[in-house]
Amino acid sequence: MTDRAIAVVRAGALTTIQDLGRTGHAHLGVPRAGALDQPAHRLANRLVGNPASAAALETTLDGCAIRVRRAATAAVTGAPCPVTVDGRPAPWGAPVRVRPGSVFAVGAASYGVRSYVAFAGGVAVEPVLGSRSADLLSGIGPAPLADGAVLPLGVPYAPPSGTDVLPCPGPPRELVLPVVLGPRDDWFTTGAVRTLATGGYVVSSASNRIGLRTEGPPLERAKDGELPSEGMVLGAVQVPPDGRPLLFLADHPTTGGYPVVGVVPERHLAAAAQAAPGTPVRFLPHRA
């Protein structure tokens, strides 16, 4: 393997390789996958001179540590966290030059959930169906990082880009989610829609890349039984048998039989990716 590579010293709770996802395969049952917080992923790539489509690392809660084999430029965005090189503090949200053999470490998120670690040239694992993203639902793409794994880097694209102000909002203290009602809101009572808007939900610790689960009052059904499986879209708010809303994220199944009360527009999903367990959730249901 070329020395243009990185070695995983500490993989963390869950660190995956993600790009912008594999679109166009839902009809085959393949989710999009890709970075959950795409604005943060794009920014990390921009800081190191990569195109937005380059693959980077997505950490979950407790970061990771990487040893570089050749001098490399790295940057961390997303959830704020301590960054070090060989134990010495380094900037978050800015390009950092890392010398050969040094360990670039990303610590636990100060708040929020997911940090993004980009290296100049991108993580150059083999693409699957046009993407280097790990899909935890289907198992397509590279496996989550493990201690000792070695990952190739591509050739740097362009010089790193500094910035005076990061155009990236911080993780939410309250997650506010507009919900366009439908297509199956008629499966719920009028009172259920009021409950959705006023129920005082919080993010559940059972949330993952597939979906953001909530804790709070159940939504009352107006119809019994279940639907035949139908297509599911990114941002769908599905209501399983326990009645608690479930927001589908990047690794969501492409079909499902539980009714969808509404859909959250994609531009609001980055905030959902950074909402830690216990974060208050306020749904804002409305008609299209």
pLDDT digits (tens, 9 = 90+) for 154-166: 999 999 986 655 6
Quick: pLDDT tens for 120-137.
999 999 999 999 999 999
- Rounded mean pLDDT of 59-64? 98
| Predicted local distance difference test score (pLDDT) of residue 2 | 64
Confidence of residue 34 (pLDDT cuts 50, 70, 90): very high
Question: Among all chains, which residue has been given the structure tokens 């919900």?
Answer: 179
Quick: pLDDT tens for 63-114.
999 999 999 999 999 999 999 999 999 999 999 999 999 999 999 999 999 9
In the predicted model, is pLDDT for residue 186 greater than 90? yes
| Predicted local distance difference test score (pLDDT) of residue 164 | 58
| Predicted local distance difference test score (pLDDT) of residue 172 | 81
In the predicted model, is pLDDT for residue 263 greater than 80? yes
Question: Among all chains, which residue has been given the structure tokens 């000792």?
Answer: 148
Pairing mode of beta strands 72-78, 96-98 = antiparallel
For residues 59 and 117, give the distance between their C-alpha atoms in angstroms, rounded to a whole number.
8
Quick: pLDDT tens for 269-285.
999 999 999 999 999 99
Lookup: tokens for 94:
């800015």
**Domain 175-286 classified CATH 2.40.100.10?**
yes
- Rounded mean pLDDT of 230-243? 96
For residues 29 and 9, give the distance between their C-alpha atoms in angstroms, rounded to a whole number.
34
CATH 2.40.100.10 region(s) of the chain? 175-286
Pairing mode of beta strands 56-60, 64-68 = unpaired
| Predicted local distance difference test score (pLDDT) of residue 187 | 97
Q: Where do the H-state alpha helices sit in the chain?
A: 38-47, 190-198, 269-273
- Rounded mean pLDDT of 199-218? 98
| Predicted local distance difference test score (pLDDT) of residue 69 | 97
| Predicted local distance difference test score (pLDDT) of residue 288 | 86
In the predicted model, is pLDDT for residue 167 greater than 70? no
Plot region of 138 (φ>0 → left; ψ -120 to 50 → alpha; else → beta): alpha
On the question of a cis peptide bond just before residue 183, with omega within 30 degrees of 0, the verdict is: yes
Element of type H or E holding 85: strand 83-85
In the predicted model, is pLDDT for residue 1 greater than 50? no
In the predicted model, is pLDDT for residue 233 greater than 80? yes
Question: Among all chains, which residue has been given the structure tokens 């059972």?
Answer: 206
How confident is the prediction for the chain on average, in pLDDT? 95
